[in-house]
Structure 1
Amino acid sequence: MMRSLKRSLALWWLAIMLMLGGLMLIEAWSSAHRSADQALDGQLEAASLTIAEAMQWSDGMPLIEIPASALEVLATRWQERVFYELIGADGQLITRNAELPVTARLKREVSKAPVYVDATYHGETIRLHGREVSSAGWDTQEPVQVWVAHTCIGRDELARTLIERTLTRILATMLMAGVILIFAMRAWMMPLRRLRSALRERELEDTRPLLVDVPEEMHELTDTLNHLLGRQRQHRDSLLRFIADASHQLKTPLAGLRSISELSLKSPDPRDWQQALTTIQDETDRTSRLATQLLNLTRLRHQVDLADTDRIALDRLLKTTVLEWAERQDARDHDIGVEIVGSGPFVVCGEEWALHELINNLIDNALRYTPAGTVITLGLRRLNQQLELFIEDNGPGVGVPDPASLIRPFERAGRQDTCGSGLGLAIVASIAERHHGQLQLSHCQPSGLRVSLLLAVAESGHGEEDQ
């Protein structure tokens, strides 16, 4: 399933906006109610002070006539119901227009500081305010509690109005942010569009580095693409060199076959024909082997991943392969032996045909580039969690300072006295890389060549009978 970067950015933006919008709405609701309470609590306070100023004392008894100005203060555009109640110091009722829910706890609290509290009156929510008025300066020193209240319809309406205004601003802000995001995404995507256009306009053989103006955050992407293009360029150059070398290697024996056949056809002597046919057969075998090796090398290099891996008992495979070579005429003049060091299991995971081909090429390479009588030893040893498969000989060795250069295709270390194709070690190197092994070539003392391959030991499990 393809993922859209634009869709992902839009979803992230929507999630963030919804979260922030929700937090802003919660804050707006709380702020609106606080603002409404502050505005209308001020009216309650003004009304209570107006009532307190209108209070008079006569013969130790408080006399009050609720002034119209106090009720006008509480009269809002929402036509709320207004209540008041005055209580003396000893708890006696002075006057009221409603029996307000003033509890003993509220009476104690109002003696310390003015009180604002939400209460319920006949099933309706009211806002209750009380303050204790000192009668200092009058002919009595008794304090009086003034309680005023009104219904909360106006508060709710005011808070709702404030919330609606805030909500409008929030929605407008989110809409503007969405529009800005659209243009921002178009600007952000422009470097990707330029990069896409640069790639689409390229020819198939164009592997030059990309020169596209991109932001700093995309430099890693362009560097990765340029690295990939560089590897493709190297691979193409290597493939072209390989094709040229392969063509030359195939052209030489074919030209020889043509010359031999032409000369033999011109001779009337059947003995010349017999000799020509023998030579043609030898050259045909060599050319056939060269073509097989070319196909194997191409197959190994273009099929990077292992196809079907098996648990392979490498010691058994090594012994079997050496016995096969011991019966061939090519190995009669050499001393080929097997050396197994340490105890098993010698089990690896890989492709059996490929490892068999690897051992075949190691043996064939040693036979072709060493003289008769050379001792060739194939061995296997366990090094912790790795197995070392090696082959060494006491032949003349190779005349190059760095034996690792021999793994290049058609590299024969300057030797022209053999019928080798120069592909054996290249195939070995490809198989080693395919199995994530480490291939090492080194000189033997006093002479000879040693080739070793390190492979990971297969994990324990079912199938130990393979050993």
Structure 2
Amino acid sequence: MIIQGKLRNRLLGWLMSMMLIVGGLLLIDAWVTSQRSAQRAFDSQLEDALLAMSEAIQWQDDMPRIMMPPAALSILSTRHQERVFYRLIDDQGRVLANNLDIPLASKLKREAREGDVWLDTDYQGVKWRLHARSVRSAGWERQFRVQIWVGHTTEGRELLARDLLIRAVGRILVMGLLAVVMIFITLRLALTPLKRLRDQLRRRQSQDASPLSGSMPEEMRELVDTLEQLFHRQGASRDALLRFTADASHQLRTPLAGVQNVAEFALQSRSPDEWHQALSDIHASAARTSRLAGQLLNLTRLRHLALPAEHEVVELSALLRDVVLEWTERDMALQHDLGLASLPDSPISVLGEEWALRELIGNLIENALRYTPAGSEITLGLTLETDKVVLYSEDNGPGVAPEMLERLCQPFERGGRQDTEGSGLGLAIVETIAQRHQGTLQVSNRLEGGLHISLTLRQFPTGEADA
């Protein structure tokens, strides 16, 4: 397993990234809000100034004048703006009152006659905000409309917007710091169950397969269940290993004890014939013990050997033919009718390990030879089922009691037979090889008598092999 940093750091990184994104959005919103707030505040000030001026218009010498003291204008200003400038224009375009020197285009004056005008402009390197409205001189001797233009520089707006933004940024930073502290505390509390689980696993003895103790959050249920299943499988595997070791010790001790007894008897005898017989018995017992040790090694190697990265394409029909022909020439098969059923005309290939499949076929043949009487027929063959191939072995021997069929592939299981020299490991090796090839092994009694063993494997298409 590749370790890629700490979970806490990864969670913290994700949370901080999201906080930075949210913080950036909040800063953008604070900037927009501060600009809008300052704009509304100062636009409202201009509107109030224009309204106050329209109410302060009076006639002098048959001309409208704004009779508004400077103190009244200063009331309309804020601490960011000292003055509100204005201009009064009649409907003929003549300036009646003015302290606003910004030139106004004719188009703007026409627009002011039709409605309110707002204008942002630059004059002599200074930014200005202007507002204009046309009002009627109702109640005077002469009835005509006049335009009132008011304005001020945007410095006050910018200062107010900056103050509002600084305050908003300050609040965002304080909330961000509090959020960071809360995130650290939350992560520490959230990862506490994992630390408790880690400590419990560290204190756990290697042979302990009991369920985990203590309380865990619901989100860790699957992890805890998976660990407990792992402990259960380890416990079952350890128990099976202990049983296998005990059975293997018993199987090895029995022939060794026989060798010891025969040797002690020969040492007490004075007869050369008895010595010769004892040596023959010791030789036969050593051969059986050597065969048993070899099968134990094969079974252990198959159960603990890592699976290959890639399987090879094995031509199963040719392999089956070679193994059967090889066994027919052995002395063990001379008293049996060992044969091969008709094979399909086209080659049959599977993905697997040739040496393991050869071992499997050999164990099927040897198992049938050892557990059937002399003269029995033993037949091996292949059949096709859609995209699968079935390798089978059948005989016309005595078969096995139905209640023992399920246990027949367990190590040292002889199907209740004690009258043979079989070790009870042949079918265990066959089942292990079948599992390595993801095959399905079935053992059953034939209706006409004897045992039928079949292995179903996925067929490898010949076209793919040729490609």
**Shared fold by TM > 0.5?**
yes
Match of 1:369 in 2: 371
> Superposed, which structure 2 residues align to 1:299-310 within 5 Å?
299-306=301-308, 309-310=311-312
TM-score by length of 2: 0.93
Measured in 1, the distance between the counterparts of 2:460 and 2:183 equals: 54
Q: How many residues align?
A: 465
Tell me the amino acid that sits aligned with residue 121 of structure 1.
Y
Quickly say closer, same or farther: Cα 1:336–1:60, change in 2 above 3 A.
farther
Measured in 2, the distance between the counterparts of 1:196 and 1:40 equals: 63
Report if the CA contact (8 A) 1:84-1:98 is conserved: yes
Report if the CA contact (8 A) 2:74-2:82 is conserved: no
Measured in 1, the distance between the counterparts of 2:107 and 2:453 equals: 99
Match of 1:456 in 2: 458
Report if the CA contact (8 A) 1:318-1:359 is conserved: yes
Match of 2:99 in 1: 97
Residue 8 of structure 1 and its aligned partner are, at CA, apart by: 0.9
Match of 2:152 in 1: 150
**In the alignment, which of 334, 341, 344 is matched to residue 342 of structure 1?**
344
Measured in 1, the distance between the counterparts of 2:455 and 2:109 equals: 96
Measured in 1, the distance between the counterparts of 2:244 and 2:339 equals: 34
Quickly say closer, same or farther: Cα 1:395–1:101, change in 2 above 3 A.
farther
**In the alignment, which of 312, 315, 322 is matched to residue 314 of structure 2?**
312
Measured in 2, the distance between the counterparts of 1:108 and 1:267 equals: 143
Residues 347-356 or 15-24, more deviating: 347-356
Report if the CA contact (8 A) 2:409-2:431 is conserved: yes
Match of 1:239 in 2: 241
**In the alignment, which of 221, 224, 227 is matched to residue 223 of structure 2?**
221
Match of 1:132 in 2: 134
Measured in 2, the distance between the counterparts of 1:218 and 1:248 equals: 45
Match of 2:420 in 1: 418
Look up the SS of the partner of 2:394 in the other structure. Answer: strand
Match of 1:266 in 2: 268
Match of 2:47 in 1: 45
Residue 82 of structure 1 and its aligned partner are, at CA, apart by: 4.1
Quickly say closer, same or farther: Cα 1:111–1:220, change in 2 above 3 A.
farther
Residue 133 of structure 1 and its aligned partner are, at CA, apart by: 1.6
Tell me the amino acid that sits aligned with residue 288 of structure 1.
S
Quickly say closer, same or farther: Cα 1:108–1:17, change in 2 above 3 A.
farther
Measured in 1, the distance between the counterparts of 2:342 and 2:22 equals: 72
Superposition RMSD in Å:
2.2
Residues 130-139 or 452-461, more deviating: 452-461
TM-score by length of 1: 0.93
Residues 217-226 or 120-129, more deviating: 120-129
5+ residue gaps in structure 1? none
**In the alignment, which of 435, 445, 448 is matched to residue 446 of structure 1?**
448
Report if the CA contact (8 A) 2:434-2:455 is conserved: yes
Match of 2:355 in 1: 353
Measured in 2, the distance between the counterparts of 1:234 and 1:105 equals: 95
Measured in 2, the distance between the counterparts of 1:261 and 1:220 equals: 61
Measured in 1, the distance between the counterparts of 2:144 and 2:301 equals: 111
Look up the SS of the partner of 1:457 in the other structure. Answer: strand
Tell me the amino acid that sits aligned with residue 211 of structure 2.
P
Residues 28-37 or 105-114, more deviating: 105-114
Quickly say closer, same or farther: Cα 1:460–1:109, change in 2 above 3 A.
farther
Match of 1:285 in 2: 287
Residue 274 of structure 1 and its aligned partner are, at CA, apart by: 1.9
Measured in 2, the distance between the counterparts of 1:101 and 1:256 equals: 127
Report if the CA contact (8 A) 1:308-1:351 is conserved: no
Quickly say closer, same or farther: Cα 1:248–1:435, change in 2 above 3 A.
same
Measured in 1, the distance between the counterparts of 2:107 and 2:356 equals: 94
Report if the CA contact (8 A) 1:344-1:382 is conserved: no
